[in-house]
Amino acid sequence: MTALMTDVAIRCEALAKQYEIGERESYRALRDVITDAVSAPFRRLRAAARHSSVPNGSGEKPTIWALKDVSFEIKRGEVVGIIGRNGAGKSTLLKILSRITEPTLGSVDIWGRVGSLLEVGTGFHPELTGRDNIFLNGAILGMKKAEIARKLDEIIAFAEVEKFIDTPVKRYSSGMYVRLAFAVAAHMETEILLVDEVLAVGDAQFQKKCFDKFRQISSGGRAIVFVSHNMAALRTACQSGIVLDRGGVVATGEINAVADQYLAAVSNNRGTESIETETFIVEDVSISSREGPVIKTFDSVEIRVRVFAKTEVQNPGMFVSILTLDNERIAALAFNDFSNIKGLQAGESCELGFRIERFPLLAGEYQMEIDLTDLDHYKVELVNKNYAFEVVESPVYRSRKINRWFGVIGLQAQAFGGPVGTNSSLETSFPGEFPVITES
Amino acid sequence: MPEIATTASQAHAALVPQEEHLELPHFRIEPKRGWVSVNLKDLWQYRELLFFLAWRDVKVRYKQTALGAAWAVIQPLFTMLLFTLFFGRLAKVPSDGIPYPLFSYTALLPWQLFAYALTESSNSVVANERLITKVYFPRLIVPLASILAGLVDFAIAFVLVLGMMAWYHTVPTWAILTLPFFILFTIITALAVGLWLSALNVQYRDVRYTLTFIVQFWLIASPVAYSATLVPAKWRPFYGLNPMAGVIEGFRWALLGKTPAPGALLWVSVAVVALVLVGGFYYYRRMEKTFADLV
């Protein structure tokens, strides 16, 4: 049996986790329990009188399966990304793997010690010095005191906080704090590392340093499980991916294939439920690239909206706005500025759309807000739902990773330059197109 | 880039001898049902964390207070002065022939340790919510560490009792050899109750509010300001149902050697604590799997 399993680091079998809805927010007061205890017998009696069957215990508590029948295998030396929407069960899975919470059903077999990084700086105490916190945090992450002492200098150097190591961390800048916390975690020597979204913090340069450290760890035969919303980060860091949806595994395999499949599925799902406004019913909304299954910066992109008219519409049209997830408006288009189509009878459907060449948004998540209009009747009706979409990849500015520091719009530019006074500074001495490099 | 990483790790895996793979510790995660055992091996592996958490509590507490370690002495000292004035001088409560200040201070020592340990351990799980929801370690570490931190205060306050004994020319007898047992017994008593309350506190926050009342109530019910000999001899073993009666009487006997050794009363206390402790361990272990979801 062992001979076959030597390469396996983690094996999940039919894992499931059930939560009571609202459980996390509300703890019960003793009063409720006493009231329950007093009223339960009566409820039982009444129920018995009516149905001659006794309801089970505390009655019908709404429950939800955060994970359902999840099975997969992760090998040593593998870096695996867990992909999925919010609420798909990614965090729950990580919590079970790191033994913070127990599964309701199923099992996980783990070969090797597990280090989990669900939060940067768990247990850091602001009053303690950087040095003290390294030891405390290290111990919390499961490192031995001797091990921490041995790596202390390396950790301090990695975090670049040499000067402040004996200062209480409450005086640290947030960057220093994160660097120190991450440095401790990056020096864990466990065979398995679980990482949740923590790479979203810190500056770009430090992120790269951490990525390199992780690569170094994985090439030492360790397994790393990553959870992130950042597809580009997952594509560079991982070799394979596991896609979760509504608590179940929907795909596993090579990271790029799985990520494309996930993103395509997500965009297919968008807007299939019908939303009604006063005059219209929205039947379908989609935004897609004409160049592939996912949207990339500078792709040719199409937005399509299919609507059904409940009553007669003389001049159908729409406004489409693109917003960030923070509801900041980036751009808006009005259909009637471009064209008019013929009116609709009650019960008729039509399709409206925009085609945008060289779509400029950088990688990230965005949303569309749609208003349906009949300008001849002075009608502007907001569709009561925003449609989320994601731009997956952006051309990389040379080797750097795109993050929010770059803003949301990609500019197509040319660079030029030369020594001042030679009159060449205005000439394009090394004309450079915007380097469109997509990672392969 | 990913290709390079893959080949590198494959090459490495090929070089690593099979034996190393087999040495990897295997662990199985699955739902536990019914009563679970106290996993001592796991606890032992995390003993350094226990020490670090206790060390953190002590260090932070002394850093954040202006008087620092002085608090450890001030509290029992002033309580002792107050007790001496009202119970000793004015109410003339008998003190078994021991000078009243010494009589009450020797009781306040274990009492303060107990009260601190009980309060801190009961709140410990809720207070360490961040840790519990973000990282695995044996959950028993949390109340244990908060109790250990109380020993530092105890050690500081203990110095004063030595001074007082010298002042009153009290020479300890051989009974002082049993003192470590009584210190341990104090801690275990606090742990036994603390395990129940800390686990209950996660589910019912009422515990937090009841705690001050419990501690006050318990102080009056324990022979701190008065002697257990006030209780008629034939009822005295029943007084041992309050384990702090056993602890305090034992402490006085061990330290001063003037009162008779607490016989039946102590054994009743030990039995009560043993029962509460075993129950507490199992209740805590049973509840701990829900901590991360409930806290």
Q: B218: helix, coil or strand?
A: helix
Per-residue pLDDT band at A202 (split at 50, 70, 90): low
Residue B295: per-residue pLDDT: 75
Interchain proximity B205–A29, CB inside 8 Å = yes
Residues 163-202 on B with a CB inside 8 Å of A are 202
Give the mean model confidence (pLDDT) for residues A144-171: 91
With beta carbons under 8 A apart, name residues in chain B contacting A171.
Answer: none
Cross-strand partners of A281: A276, A308
For residue A149 the two structure tokens come to: 């002492």
CA pair distance A53, A65, nearest whole angstrom: 27
Interchain proximity B2–A238, CB inside 8 Å = yes
With beta carbons under 8 A apart, name residues in chain B contacting A239.
Answer: 2, 5-6
| Amino acid occupying residue B62 | Y
Per-residue pLDDT band at A243 (split at 50, 70, 90): very high
Q: A312: helix, coil or strand?
A: coil
Res. A362: pLDDT tops 80? yes
- Token look-up 């996390």 returns A24
Of the partner residues B9, B12, B131, the one whose CB lies closest to the CB of residue A122: B131
CA pair distance A232, A328, nearest whole angstrom: 23
The residue of chain B nearest to residue A254, with distances taken between CA atoms, is: B2
The residue of chain B nearest to residue A11, with distances taken between CA atoms, is: B28
Residues 96-135 on A with a CB inside 8 Å of B are 96-114, 116, 118-119, 122-123, 125, 127-128, 132, 135
For residue A239 the two structure tokens come to: 């070799």
Domains of chain A: 3-35+64-264 (3.40.50.300), 272-392 (2.70.50.60), 410-439 (no CATH)
CA pair distance A105, A336, nearest whole angstrom: 56
Res. A381: pLDDT tops 80? yes
With beta carbons under 8 A apart, name residues in chain A contacting B130.
Answer: 119, 122-123
Per-residue pLDDT band at B294 (split at 50, 70, 90): confident
- Token look-up 């294939």 returns A257
Size of interface A-B (CB pairs under 8 A): 154
Measured in degrees and rounded to the nearest 5, phi and psi for residue A80 equal: -120, 130
Predicted ipTM? 0.81
* Range B283-288, long-range pairs (CB < 8 A, 24+ positions): B283/B195, B283/B196, B283/B199, B284/B139, B284/B140, B284/B143, B284/B195, B284/B196, B284/B198, B284/B199, B285/B35, B285/B36, B285/B37, B285/B38, B285/B140, B286/B35, B286/B36, B287/B199, B287/B202, B287/B203, B288/B139, B288/B140, B288/B199
Give the mean model confidence (pLDDT) for residues A360-385: 87
For B67, residues 6+ apart whose C-beta sits below 8 A from its C-beta are: B74
CA pair distance A299, B177, nearest whole angstrom: 83
Residues 144-203 on A with a CB inside 8 Å of B are 144-145, 191
> For residue A115, which of A184, A215, A34 has the smallest C-alpha distance?
A184
Q: A142: helix, coil or strand?
A: coil
Q: What percent of chain B has pLDDT over 90?
A: 55
Q: CB atoms < 10 A from the CB of B96, how many?
A: 17
CA pair distance A141, A124, nearest whole angstrom: 11
B134 alpha carbon, distance to own chain's centre: 25
B65 touches chain A (CB under 8 A): no
> For residue A322, which of A272, A403, A384, A386 has the smallest C-alpha distance?
A386
Residue B9: per-residue pLDDT: 42
Give the mean model confidence (pLDDT) for residues A310-337: 89
Closest chain B C-alpha to A327 CA, distance in angstroms: 31
